[in-house]
Chains A and B, each alone.
Chain A
């Protein structure tokens, strides 16, 4: 029963992340939607897959390794892309720009 809720949660997070990427006005807000929603949705769907399938324990361990790698790698790449976009010259459309305060 709990795997159905995990799967529906992951699908809803994926759909809202895609809508955020389509509709947000800026690179950094789009990156916010992509990073957080995609990491949470992927981990939810993979945990639901672990609960659904009937397989040996080694296969479940591989799925757990995949979820751990998503949780480690995806925020790191998002941070690197945000830093590279700021260095590339895309200014955020916000009033408070704390990165410019810290790095004049």
Chain B
């Protein structure tokens, strides 16, 4: 079935891009670079969970994706606030 192979190819492409961005998280020169990489990887993981829920036909996983997106938003805002508080210390 063509659409099944399309979904599986999307899954592998997303895994590959997440592994590419992992380099920026590990070897980022500064703290904001690592935060940008983490934010991007979490959005990719949300899309990966959506694709897996369509492939396996287990649609309760989409609730998990929505909750992970909300946790990502709160975590990003807290990290931004942490960077503003650390201004001038180092």
Given the complex of chains A and B, what is the CA–CA distance between A23 and B51 in angstroms? 28
Find residues 32-66 in chain B having any chain A CB closer than 8 Å to their own CB: 32-33, 35-37, 39-40, 43-44, 46-47, 50-51, 54, 57, 59, 62-63, 65-66
Q: Which 4 A-B pairs have the closest CB atoms?
A: A84-B80, A84-B83, A77-B76, A85-B32
Given the complex of chains A and B, what is the CA–CA distance between A60 and B82 in angstroms? 37
Find residues 67-89 in chain A having any chain B CB closer than 8 Å to their own CB: 69-70, 73-74, 76-78, 80-81, 83-85, 87-89
Indicate if the CB atoms of A22 and B23 lie closer than 8 Å: yes
Indicate if the CB atoms of B76 and A81 lie closer than 8 Å: yes
Size range of the interface on A? 35 or more
Indicate if the CB atoms of B84 and A73 lie closer than 8 Å: no
Interface residues of B (CB under 8 A from A): 3, 6-7, 9-10, 13-14, 16-17, 20-21, 23-24, 30-33, 35-37, 39-40, 43-44, 46-47, 50-51, 54, 57, 59, 62-63, 65-66, 69-70, 72-73, 76-77, 79-84, 86-88
Chain B residues with CB under 8 Å of A63's CB are 50, 62
Partner of A7, one of B10, B17, B32: B10
Indicate if the CB atoms of B33 and A73 lie closer than 8 Å: no
Given the complex of chains A and B, what is the CA–CA distance between A17 and B31 in angstroms? 20
Assess A66 versus B80: contact at CB under 8 Å? Given A38-B43, A46-B50: no
Partner of B30, one of A27, A65, A78, A87: A27
